[in-house]
Amino acid sequence: MRRAFPGRRLRSLLGALTALGAAVAALAVGLFPAAANNPPSGPLRIAQGAPTAPGLYVAGNQLSGPAGTSAGLPQQAQRLAAPASSPLVGGDGPVAAPTRDGHLVAYSTWRWTRDVDWTKSFAEQGIANGDALGTPTLRLHDTSAKTDTAFEPGTFGAAWRSDGAIAYVRGDPAEYRADMPYLGNVVVRTSPTAAPVLWTQEAGRYRIFGWAGHRLVILRGFEGGLPDVEVLDGPGRARMLAAGAGLLALSPDGTQALVSAGAPGDGPVTISLRNVVDSSEAASFPLRAVNDPVAGQAPSWVEGPGSWLGDRVVVPISSGVLVLRVTSSSIAAEQVLHVDLDRQTTGSIYEPRFVDDTGRTIVWWADLPGGGHARSAQFVCNRLALTCTRTAPVVAVRAPRPVYDLSGGTR
Amino acid sequence: MSSLRSILAAVAATGAVVAASAAPAGATVTTFDFHRITNTNSVLTIYRQELLDGRILNQASYRAGSGLNQNECDSAQYDQVGGWLPSGYYNLWGHYDHYAGTLIQGRVWRLQDKRCNGGTGQIRNDLFIHSEETSTNQQACGSSYIERFCWDGDNDYYSVGCIKVSAISDLGRLHANWDSWSGLHGSFNLSQRVYVY
């Protein structure tokens, strides 16, 4: 029988993780081991095993961590009231995000209001335009009290401000409906129990990325178009950060955002560093300047979300994982960790995260190739040794996903 | 292809398609198959089929592309990088000659949303069959060059998840076939008109 992990221990872990996050800004180059100053690029050697890594993870309805400290890891897990799932966000953002004091974890859930066979078309199943198919609901798990409460229906995609305010999207209507875009507003509560305040004035295709200090960085999608990266300086105060761009990461101090522009077939890909305060560009870097020594050519695409630790950012690319060195006024490629994505994954890597304060260990996950039921696995990699250990495959719905918040800075 | 034919026959037999119940003898249906092979070199086939028995009356195939990678769960909504579109049957939601999105313009077919089969369970949306042309069906390749509206190479087969065909060699023929075999324009909701595998 599964035993609940004592809340105090998990809370301590979350606190430690929070402390790690808070210390990120102070993690200058000097804290990285000497070898990290000149890390090699090359192919990652991947072996299957039972890796352990620092961090907090969610798999289905199980919240667990830290790994590596106890042989009885499953006994340390806490059960969530519902499986973490966010089909409106997918791998583009965290499915669960902790508060900075480590006390609470906000996680996205989903309830289907009718069965859908996604191999078939809607009409074949009697699904008409506008039929409600499912409802997202953000839930709040208290790791100490082990309580679990739901926000209002239609909510997903949380990000925590340093003072405990929480931002999320609230659908209007709450249900995801066939043949209709899922429109919603950005909502902020100054605390989980405070009244929600609309920060957008008209429902749109909004997605939360994270807080940049007291400002909120969001994406706004458009049918048949590229998303815009916008900044909300407060309720109803939206402005453009980068038009027609993708969002990769926010700096730990919340002052800058790393965005991407262009894609194969749509012009050259450029990584751009934007100052959140005024949307000005601090630096740019062409992806074609990256040299993958294995592929013998530059990667064709870069995607998010990345992980930003000190002055390093790790992001997925078309040939594996790229580590960038980013200062307040410069971007440079430091290391290409080559992965044969077609052989090791179904085609891309999800949510790479620095998980220790040295920046040595990177954890990511992926869906695995092969027919039949979809399977996923976690990869724990030592980027200095160019080695990874892959967990045993699990059914995709129980993919181990990191619990993190993309926000930076303090209010 | 054979699966689509059998499905259509089954659909016709069960009367699942509303139109089928009132279909006169000789009524036809226009469908698409998209065979995923690589991101830039897959095959899109358009069929004109006998509604009642699925018999293929006409067909034409074109080189087509989809996605920037082969992960059908990789959505482009945050980062402009998406995998090819998920497998399965799709409704067609509409066909427009002069669609005017900021990324997608011109002659397009709109597909239903589709949830992927993978760990994120992502619901992929904004799925189209399209090319690179302006909303007036022109190529923006001259002095007013706009890459996304100018078909100028095989890299243009890449997409963020949609199906793309060449504006130079194939879009006109594909559209002409659609116009002569179906002719429907605007918004509609047609069951099982696209099969992706």
Question: Is the pLDDT score of A30 beyond 70?
Answer: no
Nearest-angstrom CA–CA distance, A105 and A97: 5
Taking alpha carbons only, the member of A384, A403, A280, A406 closest to residue A323 is: A384
Nearest-angstrom CA–CA distance, B30 and A197: 49
Q: Of A57, A346, A364, which to mutate for an interface test with B (greatest number of B Cβ within 10 Å)?
A: A346
Identify the pLDDT of residue A263.
Answer: 81
Q: Of B29, B37, B38, B73, which to mutate for an interface test with A (greatest number of A Cβ within 10 Å)?
A: B73
Domain range holding A45? 7-402
Q: What is the ipTM of this complex?
A: 0.87
Flag the least confident range among A131-145, A242-256, A362-376, B23-37. B23-37
Give me the mean pLDDT over the A195-217 stretch.
97
For residue A364, list chain B residues with Cβ-Cβ distance below 8 A: none
Residues 6+ apart with CB under 8 A from A241: A217, A228, A229, A230, A231, A257, A259, A274, A276, A279
Q: Which residues pair with B42 in a beta bridge?
A: B64
pLDDT in tens, A86-118: 999 999 999 999 998 878 999 999 999 999 999
B80 closest CB neighbour out of A90, A263, A342: A263
Length of chain A: 411
* Residue at token pair 């082969």: B70
Report how many domains make up chain A.
1
Taking the domains of chain B in order of start, what are their residue ranges?
A: 2-196
CB pair distance less than 8 Å for A124 and B77: no
B83 closest CB neighbour out of A119, A182, A348: A348
- Higher-pLDDT residue of A38 and B31 is B31
Question: Is the pLDDT score of A284 beyond 90?
Answer: yes
Q: Are A182 and A176 in contact (CB under 8 A)?
A: yes
Cβ–Cβ contact A226 with B under 8 A: yes
Q: Which residues pair with B107 in a beta bridge?
A: none
Flag the least confident range among A5-9, A125-129, B37-41. A5-9
- Higher-pLDDT residue of A251 and B53 is A251
**A 301-330 near B (Cβ less than 8 A):** 301-305, 318
* Residue at token pair 């191999």: A119
Identify the pLDDT of residue A183.
Answer: 98
**Residue B49, phi then psi, degrees to nearest 5:** -125, 150
Distances (CA, A) of A383 to A324, A339, A361: 13, 12, 6
Taking alpha carbons only, the member of A334, A324, A320 closest to residue A379 is: A320
- Higher-pLDDT residue of B23 and A51 is A51
Nearest-angstrom CA–CA distance, A388 and A46: 5
Structure tokens that stand for A211 in this block: 């807080």
Nearest-angstrom CA–CA distance, A167 and A210: 8
Question: Is the pLDDT score of B19 beyond 70?
Answer: no
- Residue A354 sits in a domain of what CATH number? 2.130.10.10
CB count within 10 Å of CB B97 equals: 14
- The residue in chain B having the minimum alpha-carbon distance to the alpha carbon of residue A124 is B191
Residue A410 lies in a domain: no
| Local confidence band at B13 (pLDDT 50, 70, 90 cut-offs) | very low
B156 closest CB neighbour out of A209, A265, A300: A265
Flag the least confident range among A18-22, A109-113, A332-336, B111-115. A18-22
Average pLDDT, chain A: 90
Average pLDDT, chain B: 89
Q: What percent of chain A has pLDDT over 70?
A: 89
Nearest-angstrom CA–CA distance, B158 and B83: 10
Residue A283 lies in a domain: yes
Radius of gyration of chain B (CA): 17
Identify the pLDDT of residue A371.
Answer: 75
| Local confidence band at B25 (pLDDT 50, 70, 90 cut-offs) | low
Q: How far apart are the first and last CA of chain A?
A: 43
- What is residue B173's three-state secondary structure? helix
Residue A1 lies in a domain: no
- What is residue B15's three-state secondary structure? coil
Residues 6+ apart with CB under 8 A from B14: none
| Local confidence band at B24 (pLDDT 50, 70, 90 cut-offs) | low
What's the pTM? Answer: 0.89
Structure tokens that stand for A147 in this block: 């309580």
Alpha carbon of B26: minimum distance to chain A alpha carbons (Å): 22
For residue B98, list chain A residues with Cβ-Cβ distance below 8 A: none
Structure tokens that stand for B4 in this block: 């689509």
Flag the least confident range among A24-38, A43-57, A350-364, A368-382. A24-38
**Residue A111, phi then psi, degrees to nearest 5:** -125, 120
In the sheet with A307-309, reading across from the earlier edge strand, the strands are A42-43, A330-338, A320-327, A312-317, A307-309
Task: Tell me if the bond preceding A66 is cis, omega within 30° of 0.
Answer: yes
Question: Is the pLDDT score of A73 beyond 60?
Answer: no
Taking alpha carbons only, the member of A298, A263, A259, A292 closest to residue A275 is: A259
* Residue at token pair 């199980």: A62
Q: Which residues pair with A387 in a beta bridge?
A: A45, A382
Q: In angstroms, how far is CA A324 from the centroid of its own chain?
A: 17
Radius of gyration of chain A (CA): 20
Residue A2 lies in a domain: no
Identify the pLDDT of residue A328.
Answer: 98
Taking alpha carbons only, the member of B86, B66, B62, B83 closest to residue B170 is: B62
CB pair distance less than 8 Å for A129 and B189: yes
Identify the pLDDT of residue A123.
Answer: 86
| Local confidence band at B12 (pLDDT 50, 70, 90 cut-offs) | very low
B118 closest CB neighbour out of A122, A302, A367: A367
Question: Is the pLDDT score of A8 beyond 70?
Answer: no
Give me the mean pLDDT over the A380-393 stretch.
97
CB pair distance less than 8 Å for B119 and A260: no
Give me the mean pLDDT over the B33-41 stretch.
98
Q: Are A135 and A111 in contact (CB under 8 A)?
A: yes
B155 closest CB neighbour out of A92, A129, A265: A265
| Local confidence band at A6 (pLDDT 50, 70, 90 cut-offs) | very low
Nearest-angstrom CA–CA distance, A153 and A113: 12
For residue A176, list chain B residues with Cβ-Cβ distance below 8 A: 123
Alpha carbon of B140: minimum distance to chain A alpha carbons (Å): 13
